[in-house]
Amino acid sequence: MHTFEATRQLIMDMAPNATDIEEIQESDDGTWGFGFSDESVMTAEWADLPPRLVLIFFLGAPPDEHRLAACELLLGLNLLSAETGGVRGGMAPNGNFTLIYDLHAGPLTEVDFREIVMNFAALGRKWGRTIRAELNGLTLGFSAGRQLM
């Protein structure tokens, strides 16, 4: 994956082999949307400087009473980025929480790329369930972030 075109080809090659992905849509601006069988959503956005593919998994919005706890949890995750390989959390303009991962340009096979995408989606599902409803049972801070990894 060294260029936008090589990335596009990897995504198209991966599509038939990623059984969890029901749909991939490409937009004109170098963004792909992935729709999964469990209705979860992820985007992949090409960025030029440095060349990379930014994967964004949408976690959903926490219940209002847990919004602060969810923010603290994601901030704790951001502090663990060296341990998580660079996975970090954020919030989209619409209030949905996200997991974000930069996949830097480099040689990747379709199998490697598919594994990265599917592992990131599995991690996103786990975090999404927690962010949306299960914050009561977690100890917040570093230990909660580690529990979810």
Structural domain boundaries in the chain: 4-148
pLDDT of the residue at 140: 46
pLDDT tens-digit series, residues 13-37: 998 888 889 999 999 888 999 999 9
Q: Are 32 and 18 in contact (CB under 8 A)?
A: no
CA–CA gap between residue 76 and residue 91 (Å, rounded): 14
Ranges under pLDDT 50 in the chain: 139-145
User: Does the domain formed by 4-148 have CATH 3.90.1300.10?
Assistant: no
This prediction has a pTM of 0.86
CA–CA gap between residue 121 and residue 115 (Å, rounded): 10
